[in-house]
Amino acid sequence: MKIPCIIVDDEPLSQDVLLTYIADTPQLEIKAVMDNAIHAMNYLNQNQIDLVFLDINMPKLSGINLVKSLVNPPLIIFTTAYPQFAIDGFELDAIDYLLKPFSFERFLKSVNKVSEKLSKTEMPEQKYLVIKADKKLHRIRQDEILYFESAGDYVKIFFKDQIIMAHETMKNLEQTLPPEMFFRTHRSYIVALDKITFIEGNQLKIADVMVPVSLDKKEELLVMIKEG
């Protein structure tokens, strides 16, 4: 996904340089260019922006004071010709500080820092289930599982477009799977909580299948659904 960004700089030449660099950087998407911090403050309060290329020394309101005025500021890369502002910039947790004139290579280094920070923030750690089936060890993404169904000495694992028959027990699965993601509704079923469409009587619906819910499990399931 592209990173929505804006430029806030009162120097037309600096704006042109940044626009050229951004156009040559596929992960960035320019949303607006402004020549004063007051307009930028109003824009940021009304729009979702991930990154601001921000000059510091501007009339009426400086870039430093703009960041201080924002309740939830986006990521900031300061761009300025004045190195004495560097300490102030980093005290505001700026991603980087580009001293004008800066090269495209130096610009890219800053953008890569932004991409890395956003990926750590937005991408949760992926959870996997390692299970034996068909004489193979399968590494399965847990968020792709719909539900499990007991089948004698085996367990059927249902996905959107496939079924895996694993040599496993429901008891072991119940102890292995994260309780915030999966719930055992019945002695023969474990379901993914976020895949439940609705609960009706002693059944729940996942995809196009109705799965039974034991009477002694229903109240606990309802609590978990409401809390989730």
What is the band of 179 on the pLDDT scale with cuts at 50, 70, 90? confident
**Between 21 and 92, residue with greater pLDDT:** 21
Domain with CATH 2.40.50.1020 in the chain: 128-227
Q: Which CATH superfamily is domain 3-122 in?
A: Response regulator (3.40.50.2300)
Q: Give the chain's radius of gyration (CA, Å).
A: 26
Question: Over 90: is that where the pLDDT of 81 sits?
Answer: no
Of all residues in the chain, what percent carry a pLDDT higher than 70?
Answer: 93
**Tally of CB atoms within 10 A around 98:** 19
> How does pLDDT run across 182-222, given as a tens digit for each residue?
999 999 999 999 999 999 999 999 989 999 999 999 888 88
Q: Which pLDDT value is given to residue 227? A: 56
Q: Which pLDDT value is given to residue 29? A: 96
Question: Over 70: is that where the pLDDT of 86 sits?
Answer: no
Question: What mean pLDDT, rounded, does the chain reach?
Answer: 89
Mean pLDDT for the stretch of residues 29-49: 94
Domain with CATH 3.40.50.2300 in the chain: 3-122
pTM value is: 0.54
Residues 116/50, Cβ–Cβ less than 8 Å = no
Q: Which pLDDT value is given to residue 40? A: 94
Report the C-alpha gap between 131 and 203 in whole angstroms. Answer: 27
Residues 206/192, Cβ–Cβ less than 8 Å = yes
Report the C-alpha gap between 82 and 76 in whole angstroms. Answer: 16
Question: Over 60: is that where the pLDDT of 228 sits?
Answer: no
Between the alpha carbon of residue 222 and those of residues 173, 186, 197, 219, the distances in Å are 21, 14, 13, 5
Q: Which pLDDT value is given to residue 142? A: 92
Tokens of 8: 């806030």
Report the C-alpha gap between 73 and 159 in whole angstroms. Answer: 40
Tokens of 64: 């430093």
CA torsion sign for 76, 79, 82, 83 is positive
* CATH class name, domain 128-227: mainly beta
Name residues whose C-beta falls within 8 Å of residue 66's C-beta, 6 or more positions apart in sequence: 8, 37, 40, 41, 54
> How does pLDDT run across 103-128, given as a tens digit for each residue?
999 999 999 999 988 877 554 556 88
Q: Which pLDDT value is given to residue 202? A: 93
